Amino acid sequence: MKLKPPSAMQAFDRVRETEVWKSIFRPGSIFRRGYQDTQRDRALAAMNNFLYHLHPVRVKRHGLKLTYTFCLGGLSFFLFVLLTVTGIFLMFFYRPSADIASAQAYADMQNIMTSVFFGNMVRGVHRWAAHLMVFTVALHMARVFYTGAYKPPREFNWVIGVILLFLTLGLSFTGYLLPWDQLSMWAVSVGTSLGGYAPFVAKQANFLLLGGSVVSPNTLMRWYVLHVIALPFVIVIFMAVHFWRIRKDGGISGPL
């Protein structure tokens, strides 16, 4: 008599009974007394495990409707991850050097577009993802305002969201100079001239943005560091606080 091979569900149940699976996905006291499929044990499994804690134990029904949030927050986060991946790829082929003799930054940008395998496509994805992230973040803020999701107890998270909006604009603006062509240089010259109208600290603000009095290689290096290190580091911290506050404030806010 031939034995039937175990089904996929039976094989999965056997894996779930192993100590390795339990040590990863079911830590804590729920094992010592035996795991039962109750609301309390499900809550303990989620609270005691980092992988499960990333998702809420309960989700409000309105939060499952696509037409309520349009997944704008999730799309913004996805675009940030896409920008990170494509940006790291571009960093392998880009050098922020803009001296008069070589103009290496512009040459590297041209090399990415013409010689690097899939370079032009990745650069295009990076560029359009940056535009789309600004668009989705702005729509996300408008949705939150329209549905009243900024009201108590979510005022603090609304402030975090406004900061994230400005950080997103900062990431987009600092990346605009990196191709080091005429369009980017003149656009940055006009944009940074606004710093000269700041009260009391006009000269200091202009020097801080440009690294001098005009757009120069010092400006490119400053904005490159801001674009690939400083601003992404800050925005990741604020996004972590933003996601944490959503959980602590009871999940996605209900409709008005």
Q: If you average pLDDT over residues 229-234, what whole number do you get?
A: 97
Task: Say which range, 34-43, 178-187, 224-233, has the weakest mean pLDDT.
Answer: 34-43
Name the average pLDDT for the chain: 85
Give me the phi and psi of 164, to 5 degrees please: -65, -35
* Closest by CA position to 219, among listed 183, 251, 181, 188: 188
Report long-range pairs for 106-111 (Cβ below 8 Å, ≥24 apart). 106/179, 106/180, 106/181, 109/178, 109/179, 109/180, 109/181
| Rounded average pLDDT over 211-224 | 88
Mean pLDDT score, 88-103: 83
Q: pTM for this structure?
A: 0.82
Reply yes or no on whether the pLDDT at 87 is more than 60.
yes
Contact between 136 and 72 (Cβ < 8 Å): yes
For 4, the 3-state DSSP assignment is coil
Residue 3: what pLDDT? 58
- d(CA 176, CA 169) in angstroms, rounded, equals 11
State how far the alpha carbon of 172 is from the alpha carbons of 36, 59, 129, 151, 224, in Å. Answer: 50, 33, 10, 29, 12
**What pLDDT digit, counting tens, does each position of 105-152 carry?**
999 999 999 999 999 999 999 999 999 999 999 999 999 999 999 998
pLDDT at 4: 63
**Residue-range domains of the chain with CATH:** 66-246 (1.20.810.10)
The confidence band for 196, taking pLDDT boundaries of 50, 70 and 90, is: confident
Q: Token pair of 84, please?
A: 């990170």
- Residue 14: its pLDDT value, please? 81
Evaluated on CA atoms 208, 212, 215, 216, the torsion sign reads negative
The answer to whether 227 and 170 are in contact (CB under 8 A) is no
- The two tokens of residue 245 are 């506050």
What's the mean pLDDT in 36-52? 71
Distance CA 202, CA 196 (A): 4
Determine the Cα–Cα distance for residues 130 and 243; give it in Å rounded to an integer. 21
- Structure confidence at residue 143 (pLDDT): 94
Mind listing the pLDDT tens digit for each residue in 1-42?
555 666 777 787 787 777 777 666 655 555 555 666 777 777
- Of 133, 130, 110, 107, the closest CA to residue 120 belongs to 110
